[in-house]
Structure 1
Amino acid sequence: MKNLKYGIAIFPSKEIQDVANSYRKRYDPNYKNIPPHITLKERFKVNTDEIDQLAKELNKIAADMEPFEIEIHKVSSFSPVTNTVYLKVAPNESLTYLNEKMHQGIFPSEQQYAFVPHITISQDLSEDEHSDVYGSMKMLTFDLKDTVDRFQLLYQLEDGTWTVYETFKFGQ
């Protein structure tokens, strides 16, 4: 019975990942640990013998979902809480619903921050670096759209990288 760190995320299309990575390469020290993603549930610890139960629950949640659209038009920042700059995913009822479902029932309910759908493009920068990056990027506009039809349960390896444990497709 080992405690592993898990997380639940959506990996957007290659187009959106390429846009995010064009910035992450320079500004995100976690660039090599995980592809660009929208976090549905922050990392949590679960015993390996409980993960099958969680996966069953995630299957049920996915089965009740229909594919939905996401849109990204600009960047934003979590400053002053953290020096994180991100691609802001437009408010979306389906994402909010998924986040809520993954903090109820058998799931650990604690949530460090309020749910803000986003794709991180810079983090852990100094105050000055953050100001420069956010200052130059907040004027940019994007026209990124994607259809979301799945989410992934991930686990963290000892070297800090994240690996997909299982993928859950909607409506199946």
Structure 2
Amino acid sequence: MNNSQKPSKKRFFIALLPPKDVQKEATKIKKYFKDIYNSKAALKSPPHVTLQPPFEWEIEDLPNLIQALNHFSQSQQPFFMTLNGFSAFKPRVIYIDVLKTSELLSIQKSLMSHLESSLNLVHSVSKSRPFAPHLTVAFRDLTKKNFYQAWPEFKDKEFYYNFMINEITLLIHNGSNWDIHSEYCFNQLNDLQKLIL
């Protein structure tokens, strides 16, 4: 391979993104961490709850990944997600807490199972530990010292949103940040059928 050729693999991950107004509020908090606590790593992606952690995928094989995600999303129903307050993975990560509902746990488990069976895509670490849904606002470049300064400020802070999730999002790494690549809407036909019946 000569240097002028683009790499054949790109990094992706699959997530649930809150509505734009909620993303805006979460981004304000990320910017606060950047300005006050010198932690900007969380600004490299839109606010999200990860379902499938980052993985490498052949660009030529992207149609198969897209087909699998389309197929999966058509079998899902919209559900409510609740963000409530802050929590932490001490001593380096502060996040907006996500209510662990049966629908959220179910979609994550179903997605991982679907990707494994249809694409042989497996994230071994995720298989060996329970799913802990969270929306990160500071991590990686948050020093332990800054963590212990920020945590008392955020541990009892209020942040509450309840909203409908009706799609999953595929994000792609552009070399420095994560961009939205494509979105896959859930099957809302059943709701329409209920209205007609």
TM-score normalised by length of structure 2: 0.78
**Amino acid corresponding to residue 77 of structure 1 in structure 2:** A
Q: Is residue 157 of structure 2 the alignment partner of residue 146 of structure 1?
A: no
- State which structure, 1 or 2, has the greater radius of gyration over its C-alpha atoms: 2
Given candidates 77, 83, 104, the residue that maps to 1:66 is 77
Instruction: Note closer, same or farther for the CA distance 1:107–1:78 as it changes in structure 2 (3 Å cut).
Output: farther
How many residues are matched? 169
Paired residues for 1:82-97 under 5 Å = 83-97=92-106
Shift in Å at residue 45 of structure 1? 0.5
5+ residue gaps, structure 1, are: none
Q: Is residue 21 of structure 2 the alignment partner of residue 15 of structure 1?
A: yes
1:61-119 deviations in whole A, cap 9, x for unaligned? 11111111011121000114xx1100011002222222223323125212445421111
Aligned 8 A contact 2:30 2:43 in 1: no
Q: In the aligned structure 2, how far is the partner of 1:60 from the partner of 1:140?
A: 39
Q: In the aligned structure 2, how far is the partner of 1:59 from the partner of 1:47?
A: 18
Q: Is residue 122 of structure 2 the alignment partner of residue 101 of structure 1?
A: no
Counterpart of 1:125 in structure 2 is 142
Aligned 8 A contact 1:13 1:146 in 2: yes
SS at match of 2:41: coil
Aligned sequence identity (%): 22
TM-score normalised by length of structure 1: 0.89
Query: Would you tell me which structure has more helix in proportion to its own residues?
Result: 2
Q: Is residue 9 of structure 2 the alignment partner of residue 6 of structure 1?
A: no
* Superposition misfits of 4+ residues, deviation over 4 angstroms: none
5+ residue gaps, structure 2, are: 1-6, 34-38, 189-197
Aligned 8 A contact 1:40 1:95 in 2: no
